[in-house]
Each structure stands twice: as C-alpha cells, then as structure tokens.
Structure 1
C-alpha cells in the first residue's frame, strides 16, 4: 500500500519552487499501470468516462487519470460512510475542490467561496489577494496518462487521507488491510467504494463520488432569500458592495424546476425531482413513505407544475433499479436503516454559486417505530434545556448548581457532566449549537442547516427524536387509554357491581369523555341527546361492533394499527422531504388552531391541525378537549408549506413581492431553530395549539390518568416490574416538557418577521399579555412545586424497580439502582423549574418588558415574579401552627424542604452575583436581598409562634435556613466588594458547590 503523502500541505510556495518536471521525466504510463485493468464505462451510449480509472484488485490498488483540462474545472467530492456505522448511508458532507499542478505534484484545493467580489476589477483583485484558497492535500503525479492527463494514486489519496475528507468519523486502525468494494465509471461521475478497517477494528466502507460542478443551469436564476419565509441558503459576502444590505448575499436553496411546456397552465417539469425508495424500506411502510412525498406535489401544482416529484421503488425481489447505488450523486434516495435509533434527516447538496439543489437523500431509521428505549439521564436534561439561550448557557457554566444538565442526572455522573459543561463554556456563546459548527463532523450539528456553510451537509433534524418520545407515550396510551373500556360502559359495569369506589372512578372517566380511549377513529363519540338505558345498551353493542370491524380491517404494523402509525410515518417523511426541497423548520406552525378546534369535526380528516409539516408536531392525544378525537398526525402539508413552495418555486419573479406581503396572515407565521432560544414562546419545539397552556393542561390530565393505571394495566401479568418504573419516568418526561414549555412564556415577547410596509403595520416585538404570563407561571409552579404534582404513592414506589442484567444493556449509578431515587428525581425537576423562572435571562426579559409597554398597561413585573415564586415555595409559613404533626407527618414535607433549600440558595446566588454586564443585575440583586430578609423574618416569627408544635425535620430545616440567610446577607456587600477569600465566603462557596470567581 502506497501512502507517501504529505497530509495537509499549506505551504504552496515550497511546492512551486521545485524544478520544473516534464512528462518525459516521469515514469511511462505502461510501467505504472502494469498488472492493472481499466475499469469500463458503465454506459452503452457514451463510452467516455468522467475520468479513467484502473484497478488491481488483489491488493486494492487504484490509479486514475484526470481530464487533460483538469485545472480549468471545479469538482464535487461527495462523501458517504456507507457501512460499518450506525448511521451508514447518511451523507457525510461534500467538498468543492480544484486541482492545481506544482511540477510533479498535484494540490487538491478547496476554493474560497464565502467571500467574493462581483463588481469592479479593483475589488476583485483585492479580495483574491486577501482571501485565498486552502490546500487540503497534495499527492505525487505517477505518470502522464494515455489521454494527456496526470495519473494519480487514487487509493493512497482516498484511504491515506480518509480523515482529511471524513473528519473524526473515520479513523483507520489497520492500514495494511483494505479492499475495493466497487468502482464505477460513468460519463458524468465516478463512484468509488473502499472497505477499510476503522476505529475499533470494525470494517467500514468509504464511498466517494466525483463529479464536475456544473455550470449554472440553463434557465436557473438564483432567488434571494427573505427572512419572512424559511429556506436554507447559499450565502456569501460580496466585498465589492458598500452597504450592509448588499454586502451579504443569500440565495434560497431550491431545485431547478421548469415547465416542459410553458404555454400550459399545468405542465410536467422538464426534469422532475426523482426519489428512489431503497429496497431496505419495509414493504409494509412503503405506501406511507409515498404518501408523505406526494403531499408536496399538490403544492407544486399551485405554481403550475404537475408531478414535480416522482417516486420509484428499488426492489430486490423484482430487481427493479437494483443497479443504482444510493450513494451515486445522480440519484436521490430515501434510505431505511435498521439501527435501533430514532433518526430522520433530509440533507442535500447544492451548487456553491447559485443555491441550486443538485442531490438529496433522506435517511429514515426504525428506532422510533420499534420502541423508545431511553436513558433517563440523557432524556431529561434535554427536555429541561429546551429553549435555553446562549446568555443562560454562559450563566449556567459559572453556576453548575443551576444547571438542569447536572441536576437531572445521576450523582455518579456529576464529574463527567461538570467537565462537559466546562468544555462548552470555553466555546463561543458557551457552546450554543448555532454559534459554531464543523461541517466535517458527522451529526455534529443538531439542526437542519449549518450556519455559515453552503448547504445542509451533516445537519441533524430532531423530528424523529420528538416522534420517538411521542410514540413511546402512544404505546403507553395504547395500553392505558386507547384500548380501554369506553367510559360510559365502565360506569354501568361499576354500577352493576355496586362498588362505590369503582363507580366514582368510572364516573370521573365518563366526565372526561376521552375519545382517545376508543379502539379506532370510527368509534369517536358524538354529542347527542340523552337516551334511555335500553337504547344506550344497544348503542354500546353497535359501537363495539364498529370497533371490532375497525380492528379486523386494519393491518397491525409492529403492534399498532396502520391507520395510526401510517400517518405518523407519512408526516415524518413529508417533514424530511420539505428539507430536501430547501425548507427550514417552522416552529410557529403549531400555533394555528385552538385545541378544541383541532379536535372538532370541522378539521378532522379535512384540514391539517397545524400550519406546517415543518414544525415538530406532537401526536394529538385528546383527553377532554373539543368534541371528537381529531387526527393523531398531520394528514397533509399545511398552508405555510404551500406558501413557502410558492415563494421558492413560482416561475414568475414579478409575483414575489405580493407573495411575501401575505406574511401577516395567521397561518403563515414563521420562526426557526435560532428563534427557539429567544423570547417568543410560540417559537417552540414540541408545543401545540394556539394556546399551548391548554395543551399543557391536557397533557397533565393524561399524565394523571396514566399514573393511576400503571400498576393495574400498564404492567401486564408476566411483565417485569421495571416496566412500572419506565412508565412513570415517561410520564415524568411529559411533565417536564409541559412545564418547561410554559416557563418560556414568563417574560416572553412575540416576535414578528414583518418588514416596514407590510400589511397591518405590526410591531416586530409584542409583549406577551400579563394574564398569559401569570397563567403560565402558575402552571409551572403547580406542576413542579407541590408533592401532589408527582402522583407518587407508597404502592407505586414499592414497585418502581429495574431489571438486573450484567450485559450490554446494564447501567450503573443511581439510574441502575433497584430502588428509584425519589428525592433526587423530584428535586431535579424542582431545581430545573427554579432555573427556568429565576435565571438572569428570564428576569432580565421581565424587567425589560416593563418599558416596552405604557406605564398604565398591566404586565408581569420583576417584583411580582419573585414574590409569586417565593410565596409558592414557602407557603407553609403562612399556614396556622401545625396540630398533631410529627416526624412521620411533618409540617413541611421532605420534597418541599428540598425545594425551599433550592429557592433560598437561588436568592443567595443572585445577591452574590457580580455581573455588571447587564443593567438588570442590580435590581435583581436588590430584590433578591429583600426577599431573603422577608423570608428570614417570617421564619423567625414561625419558629416563635409555633414553638413546641413543630416536628424536628421542619424546625431544624427552618433554623438552618435562617442562619444561612443571615450569613449571606452579611457577606453580600463584602463578596461584591472584592473580598471573596473570607471564611464566610469560603463557606458559601462550599454551599453552592462553586468557588467564587476571580475578581469577585
């Protein structure tokens, strides 16, 4: 194996300074190619390949001859790790490169495309001199080929420099072993697949696609991007322009779709977007994959294109299209990976100068359908950190006690998590995902596009993550509600038994009238006039017959009826197809309709329940909202999606201004990934309905229902009791998501992307109404502060265990203990809730909002927020002195004592914080000091008036709290006065788990 390469060659001048080498000085091609066989061109009509390749299979040797005019062209190298990885088949990025000769060597150069000059000659010359290209690798020229081009060692280039192309996802561990998996030469591209020994000795296949960067397509005109509609962009800085608005140029990424017959109102395109469904896609799901793709054809018909997207099936049994490689850049594939991971992604490759999409592949995996087997330590911090801003991340890096990533994981992983947070803190914006990205890292970016790069590349879409959690909850709902007896039938059975307790429970269920408890959509309840008991019995029998008929006609797909799981898959496919069409996420799409309207006959089966399939739309589980169980998933693309396609693909540029003027329509609101960490509470992943508080309350009603049935119905005879623990933790994840979602409304402001002159003259920033903020605040408090919010009983806790296995599925730390860590888990959510409500970003937003409104207009103020939280945390201090309390029934429960310690410490942290970078720091600190003084006075009064009536737990807790408050108040001025090394401050530093920062 020949790996005589220099790695990265950045000193181009050294290469150029060598004496000139003539073709006669190089070895003859016949000598170099001895024992090699030429790879034939795989095209009967055109026998000229993109470039010529010879192979020697016995030792995996490849040589290739570049075209004679190679220096005059730009090339794509598209990368795919096609086997030996859990995400094998996912696009691993692409490079736009040029070849340049330096005597007997060739440099592979990545040209500078991000900074250009398109104007006068002087600016072009300056930009060319200042912003130079980069040498990726250099390689020797082996010979001059029979067609006049230089011959290079391809296997040395592609294997020896694999990490230069693929980044950290590929590390060759044994360079002595390799194999040519396949090599195909076509007139417009060359496909090379090489098997190597990667990390840990595992075989991996590296697929390289070589093709020419085409000249701008005939008839394709770049379209400028606009912030009012969400497209991925191809962007560059034009330094021949001298105004900010002109310097940054952004083109939307879109396909080149033109009418075959421009005279027709509806015409097929000259070249449709053609997707091949890979043969690995299960037959039972293919029709739903097709449905998700076909949704978009209706949007293209609105702009005059019929059959804009065509679907073909690769099929191993019939042999159809089996000669096509999914990695081949000429084909767009929908690939299915059986990797036991819930993933879906729709990356694309675009023309680096125009934004024209040239190639796209969609990856679907099986994990979200099969099951949802999550690690509590991984899931809960993600849910708790949703929507966190860069400012808050920076604060958390200095205050780990506040950080949900630390508080919601096992203590045994504390050091690991702290180290991870510390590393993130050293990155720009404390490691916020959109602040810095690396396109060479597979899956390094969690969103659908990479900031500052030409295309989506490796951007990860998290739609399948959300769908995985929802489907896990669906399986729970399936076990506990969907397949349960009908509420009215349950009432009658309980009445027959004469069991008062059962009667009350069934009555409660009947009042809920949960259509989600039916067997199938056909069994939806309708509001009717009361009937006598005989009629009611008959209706029940008829309803049962309908349910049985529904069950008998449904195909059960992996434990779920096709009418349920099929639309979920179609919805997910449509989401990813939207990305391949150029569309970004729209996280305001879910805010179109009220929850009652979503669950109404008006919408069910007729209209989509959100404005966009590009949102992360949850499964619609109804408990008691509306009249009927609405659609569980999107049944089409939404009105925003139609509008976005109209903007990106209309064939008449003159219509663009009028299309954009529609941005004020309620169904066309847009917010995307970078908006989710901002103040707009509707720019949110995983929320639902025009008033998400209604949705959050509905979710918590379902949580209560689930928890009451875990032991009886979720855990079946013969099941492990570990299922009870998994079931409860699923409900806790739902509770965390709901509370975190509503916390974002506190201090919130709606953000509109309108421009001046748009209809209605909306302000770009509108403060969330005061009552909505107060209602959201109360919801967070109700669902996290109080013991009853957690639904824990001795009976449930005694059965929440785990399975004990010493194999690949085993776990360690607290999450692996047979006894569920009650106080740690509850405190994790309580501490996270305090972080959501009391972090400096939220407090600053509340404080700033006071000036955004006239003084006579009501709004949530900073004093009110802190007072409300304090009153809720310490409500026991307002009660009458306890009577008959003891250490088994304390005045303040153990869960509440933990909450109160956390709240006290948060106030102490705020008065000791020395952050002069924000003007809100001083009023926040002053108010925190005031609340600590008030709290100390209340505790003193309670200890005095209730002396002798208080249990030992509560009394010792209050005494210790008062002492720490007094210490903190005395130390506050000293701490901020540069005397951080005092004994008192060392004590406080130990208390918070932090050491005072330098300079404090």
Structure 2
C-alpha cells in the first residue's frame, strides 16, 4: 500500500505541474500562430498585427535562488540607450541587453556581416553572412532568441492556425538566462555573450569547407568589439578567434597569414526594427519577369493548383506628389560611395548606379536613385543597416568582381537595405592585361566545363564557378560552394570569367590597337567596364535576377554601331553576364561594354515599381498582367540561372554576345588567332618576363575555348520561351534550332576545333612559354614539366567539345527530334554520329596516299573511341538508340581500318601503324564483349 501511495503521489504531482504548463504552452502557441498568419491579400493592418503580435501573459521566475538586483548587475557598466538598451562592461568583457516587456514576441530583423576577413579563400571582409527575423520569447527564467517560421501561414482567425503551428517548428537559436528584472520597468536583463560570442553564423563549418581544414571557435580569443545603440537599430561587433582543429592535423597553408594555425574574424550583428509601412503593399510575382521572390504557403487557400503566394522583392517607393506624372519619391533609394573607393573610379561608380533612373522616370519617379559620397570623417559605419553603400573590397584571391546583396523583410518582400561590394583588384587585371591561369596547372573553359563536371554553379548562392578550377586539379577537392552557401544565401556575381573578359579586352586594346596600359584609352575602357558592373549590381539590389537571354538582342553587325548601342545598349539587360565586345578583323570597334540599361530592364522596373492604386496585391492583377503580357517581344526575352543548366538554348549563355553565335563566335576565334600572332611577333618586350608571355598565351587560349564551347549548344538545341497562354499566337515554349543551323555549328567546330592545323604555332613561339620562377609566400613555382604542354592544352579543348556534343541530355533531345519536328526537317542522332566519325576519322574513311597521323589527331581519335566504347559497354549513360549507333559506327570504323591497314599499312610510320592496329583491336574486343552480354 505504501508503494502504491508513493506512485499515486508522484502522478498527482506530475499532473499538477504539467497541466498549468500545458495551458501556458497553448497560450504561447496561439500568440505565435498569430505572428505567422498573413492573408494572401496581406492588407497593411494585418501585416502590422503580424509583426507586433505578442502574448498577454508573462511567466514568473521559477528559480529558487533570489537573483541579483538590476542595479547590482549593471553597476560599473556604460549605458547605451537605443532600440534595446545596452550595458557594456569592457573590463569584464560583458555586454548586457535590457528587453522591455512590450518587446517580447515582436519580430525584429537580424543582419549578419563579416566585417573583416583574411583576404583569401572566400573569407573576405564586407561579405553578408545571413539575415533573418527574430523575436524574444520568455520561457521560465530565460529569454529565447527565436527565428519564427514564416514559410507557412494562414489568414487570421482561421482554425488551421493551431494545426500549422503544431506541424511546423520555429527555430530557437539560444536561451539567455534572465540575470535580473527591473523593479519598475519590469524589463529583463540578459547577458548577450552566449548568443553573440557563440558561433551563431556557423563559421566553423563554413571555414572547414572553404579552407579544407578544420577550424574551431576559440572562446579564449573571442570578445565583443564596438557596440552602438540607436532608436531603430543596435549595432554589435564580435571578434571571433579561430584555431586549427584536431591536434596532429596540419592546417592549410594560407599565404595571407603570418601563422595559418590561427586567425581572427570580426562579425557585425545589426538588430533592427521592421518598418511600419502602412503604405507598402506586397506585389505578386510573375515568372515571365526576373525578380527575387519572397514566398510562403498559404494554408487558408485550398486551391489545388498552387499553394504558394509569391511576392517580388522591391523597395517601398511612393510618389511625393501622387497625382503628378513625374514626381520625386517620398524617400529615394540612396547609395553612399564608401570613402575607400579610389578617386579615379568614383564618377564611374556614380554613373553606373544612376543609369537606372532612366527606367524609373518611365514609371513616374524623378531621381528615384541618389548617389552620395561618404565623407572621409564620417562617424557612421558602412555596415550600419541605415545606409546603403558601395564598398571597395581588398583581397588576395577574390573570385568575384562585384556582389549586390540586399536585406529583405521576409514577410512582405520589401527591400530594407543593400550594400554593393567591388573587388578592388579588378583594375589591376585590366592594366596588367592578363590574369594568371597557372595556379591550377591546367586550363579550363568555365562555360563548357561547368556542364562537363556536373557543377553548373555560376553565381547564385556560391562561388562554384571560381573554385571549379581548383576542384579539377590533383589537389583534394573542396566543397567550397557549400561552404559559401553556409556563409549566406547571397548572389556572388561575375567571378573569374568576368575578370577574364576584362583582361582579354585590355589585351586586345594593347595588341590590336597599340593602347598602352597607362593611357587615357585604357582608363576609359576600365571605367566603361566599371559602369556596367555597378549597373548590374545595383540591379540586384533593386530586386532583379539575372537575364542570360539579354545578350542576344542585337545582330553581330549591330554590336559595333554606336547609333544603336548608345540608345539601346549592347544587351537588352545589364542583368546578363556580358562578354567584352571585340569587333571582327577589319571592322571599326564600337562599345566594349554596355553603357545604358536595356529594354528588358525598363520593362522589369515597370512591372515592379509602377504605382497602382489598389488596396491588396490581387487588385493589381489587371495592370500587372498587361505589363507582363509583353513577354513575347524579342528584346524582353528572359532566362535566368536555372535555365542555363540544361544547356538547351544556344542563346542562353553567360558571357556571350549577339543573337547569332554562328557568325559572332568565329569572329572571336579569329581575333584570338590574331592576338596569338601579335604575341608571337612582339613579345616579350624589353624587360618583360617570358612567363608573362605564357600567361597571355593561356588567356587567349581560354577566350578561344569559350566561344568554341558556345557552338555546341546549337546541336540538339531548342529555344525556351517563358510564355503564357494567350501571350502570342503561333509561338510555343520550345522551338527547335533549325537543322541547317545545327549542321553549320558542326561544320564550324570541325574547322576551328577538330582541325589541328588551327593550332600550328611556331616552335620558337612555344619555346618562349616559360613558367614563373618566383618562390615565396603567395607564389609557388612550377616544379615539374616546366615546358609548355601544348598537346594537352589542345586535346583538352577537343575533348571538352566532343564530350559536350555526345553528352546524354543532348543525345536524348536528338532522339526525340523526329517526334518534335515536322517530318523530314529534323537533325537526328544518325547524322550527328556520322558527321563526327567523318570529321575525326576522315583519314581512314578517305585515306590520303601517305598514311601519317599527327599526335593531336591520334589523341582525338582515342577520345572518340573511348566515348563510343563507354556507350556500347554501358559504362556511361546514353539513350539506347545512341548505344546502337555507337555500335554501328565502331563496326563501320573497324571495316575501314582493316581496309586501310591492308592497303597502306606497310607505308605508314610506326606510330600511326601502332595506333591503328591498337584501335582495331580495341574495337574488336568491345564488339565481342557486347555480343557476349546479350
């Protein structure tokens, strides 16, 4: 009986504890649900309720020990009054925050920025790390730092609110003990150290990914930096010390550090109040126009078609004079040029940002964007969320030229703050006329190899394009793009390929137009690039995504006609990744980079910023549909990052130009040939290193590589249009490339890639190409194979192009061509296989009197054999029809080899004869192996 009584007492006691806790939990859940409930229409009053929702109950302190008095805890500290009042004890390294009762369960914005980096490996000062909503929620004797879940919402009062709250969790990042409660204000004092001196941004994991070695946060080396409190925001800085990980594991060798075992990073936390914009109305998105999107699932909408509500991200622009045709905004978008920007570039930076006012004027805003200069004695910090800045970044190995992130209200899509970063080293790339490609000891073409390696990352959410070169070398691969994504979901633009465009443009000025690096012409060239770059990044801060179809607006002939390009631009949108425009041989050079926003940019701004007198987003539908309905106009074609990954559309590429690459690409390859010729004739000049000649040679080679890879997209290609029903009669989303253009692309590849005679360089030229011999921090000399690997370079180009032509997705599209093209008009699989076999094995199919194959021809033939053998043996993916054709072509080739060896084998040189006999033997074994498996 005694045992039963003890159990009963325990159960009763547990019941008495849990029931009140359950009731309290339900009260808190209801309040949090109210925070997350936002109707599809999202009237402003309901948004305000969503932002300011809070509980009506407070929990009592359950600690048995009596806490210290408020005055005792803050004794000797420095008080900083602002959004949250701070108490700073610098001697003890403590930082407290006073949270008022009315500030509980209210949404605020946290923005995290890397204030200082190490200048290498993607760890750069000024990079945005993360931004999110947060709220303080009291639970017992602690204040939880909570990130509310805003991805799932319901209308206020909908019974589904409770279900949604139970189904989808918030994220509690930290629970801060309440050190004291003020006796009069009833406010709560918390120590911020557990939150902001912990690894809140997840830097340890990111550093391990990016630097290839484990680094952990060292609490003994970490401390608070400057802290400032303002009425609408609080600015905190944390100095994080990081040390190399597990003992016995050597850290990476970081050239920029005195000791790679340890370094410090400064991280800024901006805590700000969300604006109470009673006149801001979210605007619904349309996938025909490229805006960044804030999306959530509306569980109050039971429409089976699409549960998502999508808002575009844009600034809150309101006319000062609503009825005026052209009016200044109540609050313009102001960019401050940071005082670190060199004097010689400030005008170009200003001009690039102000380009966009042309588009805003067309929707009724005068001077929507203003650009101001940050004084040298400014007291404010560029990372302060109250200022939009254009900042200069200094780094050792930055893989991007520009970056334009913005901070957005995740409830409505309203852009609140933006900062643009520019890599200061971009001008050096132009003035030196080249950029080193030797670090990886291997030459790659980024556009082609992104597909070949399965890494299509260009810019969004990481710098995969830049680090792709390193990941393909013999060094251990590093998941750098994953690491950078951990650092923050932002857009890193241009990158390595943009520096190459800048470098090749400067080289063309020097070699083809005799322009010196320090001349006024070169200065104008660099500033024209900078204006275009700034316009691109400002476009991102206005909410716009990339448009990789914009470069197809003009014909090749129109690109160098200033009467056209000064009015419309070189491209339909500065949101493309624009290649440098080099005029063909014998033509007058026009603009190198676009100097005005294009028709697409004006259209996109019209969709996002045209004032509409409506109460809710759905009321704007009629006008927005009228604007978006212009999508079929050629200059408004839109394709963004996810559209380029498949390699489907030959006009959707980064760093291309013109709507006719079949004309423009050969022009650029001929320009490359001419620059090689000039390099051979005039380099090195007196005092110039032979290693500089090698670097320039590679730079030209990569430019050649780039345009050769574009031609492959015509084979099996299709235009992809983002039309909707009723937009235009007679046009469909997919439009196959005409068969004649596909044949023309293959013929150009045969002439410019597969024919090794295009790469006949004089022995003296090749023997000039010496590597650098500097050996010190930041410079690692090449040790093995000092001579230039010309055979490997050319074979790499041929291999990439050949594999791209025979990659599985392209073969599948060609297999489907008969079903998607009118009878008799398709370019199909058999023609591709036959054309390639004739081009690569023409020596066997139509042998010359004397049989002699060069080493380059033998290498290409081996690669072809390897690809087809993989198809036949099923070791590589391919459609079954392609495997059958591969088997057929190998059988035909074996017959041709037998015939040639019988007739001319005795006269062939030893290398050619050995190559042909080995090839015949490999084909025989492949065909036999396949027969045995059936």
For 1:757 and 1:583, locate their aligned partners in 2 and report how far apart those are by CA, in whole Å: 25
In the alignment, structure 1 residue 458 sits paired with structure 2 residue 516: no
1:345 aligns with 403
Show the counterpart of 1:608.
569
Q: CA deviation at 1:790?
A: 2.2
| Residue among 349, 373, 377 paired with 2:435 | 373
Residue number in structure 2 paired with 1:133:
170
What secondary structure is seen at the aligned counterpart in 2 of 1:94? strand
- The residue matched to 2:227 in structure 1 has which SS? strand
**Match for 1:828 among 781, 796, 810?**
796
- Alignment of 1:74 with 2:107, yes or no, is yes
Shift of 1:107: 1.8
Partner of residue 853 from structure 1, selected from 815, 818, 821: 821
Aligned to 1:802: 771
User: Offset of 1:245 from its aligned partner?
Assistant: 3.7
* CA–CA separation in structure 2 for the residues paired with 1:480 and 1:850: 48
CA distance in 1, matches of 2:520, 2:497: 20
Q: Secondary structure at the match of 2:100?
A: coil
Distance 2:168 2:870 in 1: 47
**In structure 2, how many angstroms separate the alpha carbons of the residues matched to 1:438 and 1:130?**
30
Report how many aligned residue pairs link the two structures. Answer: 829
CA distance in 2, matches of 1:38, 1:407: 50
Compared with structure 1, are the counterparts of its residues 277 and 166 closer, same or farther at alpha carbon in structure 2 (3 Å cutoff)? farther
8 Å CA contact 1:337–1:365 kept in 2: the answer is yes
Query: Which of the residues 214, 222, 236 maps onto 1:192?
Result: 236
Q: Are residues 853 and 943 of structure 1, via their aligned partners in 2, closer, same or farther at CA, if it must alter by over 3 Å?
A: same
Find the counterpart in structure 1 of residue 668 from structure 2.
699
User: Do residues 89 (structure 1) and 47 (structure 2) align?
Assistant: no
2:188 is the alignment partner of 1:150: yes
- Are residues 56 and 214 of structure 1, via their aligned partners in 2, closer, same or farther at CA, if it must alter by over 3 Å? same
Q: Which residue of 1 aligns with 2:35?
A: none
Partners of 2:197 and 2:223 within 8 A in 1: no
Is 1:329 matched up with 2:385?
yes
1:954 aligns with 2:912: yes
Q: How does 1:609-758 map to 2 (within 5 A)?
A: 609-624=570-585, 628-652=588-612, 653=620, 654-678=622-646, 679-758=648-727
- State the SS of the aligned residue for 1:928: helix
Between the aligned partners of 1:949 and 1:327, the Cα distance in structure 2 is: 75
Q: SS of 1:160's equivalent?
A: coil
Q: For residues 64 and 268 of structure 2, what CA distance do their matches in structure 1 show?
A: 31
State the Cα RMSD in Å. 2.9
Matched, 1:204 2:265: yes
Partner of 2:294: 234
Deviation at 1:442, TM superposition (A): 2.5
User: Is 2:895 the partner of 1:928?
Assistant: no
CA distance in 2, matches of 1:100, 1:120: 22
Give the direction of change, closer, same or farther, for the CA distance of 1:646–1:786 in structure 2 (3 Å limit).
same
After superposition, the Cα gap between the structure-2 partners of 1:369 and 1:733, relative to the gap in structure 1 and judged at 3 Å, is same
Alpha-carbon offset, residue 410 of structure 1? 11
What is the distance in 1 between the residues matched to 2:203 and 2:309? 28
Query: Contact 2:284 / 2:312 at 8 angstroms: preserved in 1?
Result: yes
Aligned partners of 2:204, 2:305: CA distance in 1, in Å?
Answer: 36
Q: Deviations over 1:850-900 (max 9, x none)?
A: 2111213x22110000111111111111344444x7xxxxx1000110110
Contact map agreement 2:773 2:781 (CA 8 A) in 1: no
The Cα of 1:682 is off from its aligned counterpart by 1.1
Do the aligned residues in 2 keep the contact of 1:166 with 1:440 (CA within 8 Å)? Answer: no
**1:163 offset after TM fit, Å?**
4.4
Distance 1:439 1:826, change over 3 A: closer
Change (3 A) 1:89 1:194: same
Provide the C-alpha distance between the structure 1 equivalents of 2:835 and 2:379, rounded to a whole number of angstroms: 67
1:943 to 901, 910, 915: 901
Question: Structure 1 52/604 Cα, relative in aligned 2: closer, same or farther at 3 Å?
Answer: closer
Aligned residue number for residue 297 of structure 1: 357
Q: SS where residue 95 of structure 1 aligns? A: strand
2: distance between equivalents of 1:77 and 1:158? 12
The residue number in structure 1 matching 2:539 is: 578
Q: 1:331–1:704: structure 2 CA closer, same or farther, 3 Å change rule?
A: same
Match of 1:25? 66
Alignment-derived partner of residue 339 in structure 2: 279
Query: Are positions 1:469 and 2:500 aligned together?
Result: yes
* 1:534-613 mapped onto 2 (5 Å cutoff): 561-613=522-574
* Cα distance change of structure 1 residues 752 and 387 upon mapping to structure 2, 3 Å threshold: farther
**17-26 vs 137-146, greater mean Cα deviation:** 17-26
For the residue of structure 1 that corresponds to 2:905, the secondary structure is: coil
Q: State the alpha-carbon separation in 2 of the partners of residues 232 and 296 from structure 1.
A: 18
Alignment of 1:912 with 2:873, yes or no, is yes
Residue 974 (structure 1) shift: 4.0
- Partner SS, residue 145 of structure 2: strand
User: In the TM superposition, what is the alpha-carbon distance from 1:676 to its structure 2 partner?
Assistant: 0.6
Structure 1 unaligned blocks of 5 or more = 1-11, 42-48, 395-403, 425-432, 444-456, 484-518, 520-550, 886-890, 978-1000
Q: Is the 8 A contact 2:436 2:695 kept in 1?
A: no
Matching of residue 288 in structure 1 with residue 246 in structure 2: no
- The structural deviation recorded for 1:64 is 1.0
| Mapped partners of 2:687, 2:169: distance in 1 | 68
2:309 matched residue in structure 1: 249
CA distance in 2, matches of 1:571, 1:94: 28
The whole-number CA distance in structure 2 between the counterparts of 1:655 and 1:378 is: 56
Task: Give the alignment partner of residue 159 of structure 1, picking from 197, 200, 206.
Answer: 197
Give the Cα–Cα distance (whole angstroms) in 2 for the partners of residues 582 and 557 of structure 1: 37
Instruction: Give the alignment's TM-score, normalised by structure 2.
Output: 0.84
- Given that residues 644 and 652 in structure 2 are in contact (C-alpha distance below 8 angstroms), is that contact kept between their aligned partners in structure 1? yes
SS in 2 for 1:759: coil
Tell me if structure 2 keeps the 8 A contact 1:368–1:467.
no
In structure 2, the CA distance between the partners of 1:23 and 1:664, relative to structure 1 (3 Å rule), is farther
Choose from 366, 375, 383 the match for 1:306: 366
- Deviation for aligned residue 1:409: 8.2
Aligned with 2:357: secondary structure? helix
| CA distance 1:924–1:440, shift in 2 (3 Å) | closer
CA distance in structure 2 between the partners assigned to 1:389 and 1:818 by the alignment: 28
- Whether 1:37 and 2:78 are equivalent positions in the alignment is yes
Q: Is the 8 A contact 1:195 1:205 kept in 2?
A: yes
Contact 2:573 2:597 in 1 (8 A): yes
Alignment partners' CA distance in 2, 1:309 and 1:818: 53
Alpha-carbon distance in structure 2 between the residues aligned to 1:750 and 1:219: 41
For residue 627 of structure 2, give the secondary structure of its aligned residue in structure 1: helix
* Mapped partners of 2:304, 2:343: distance in 1: 53
Measured after TM superposition, the shift of residue 156 of structure 1 is 3.3
In 2: Cα distance, 1:647 partner to 1:359 partner: 21
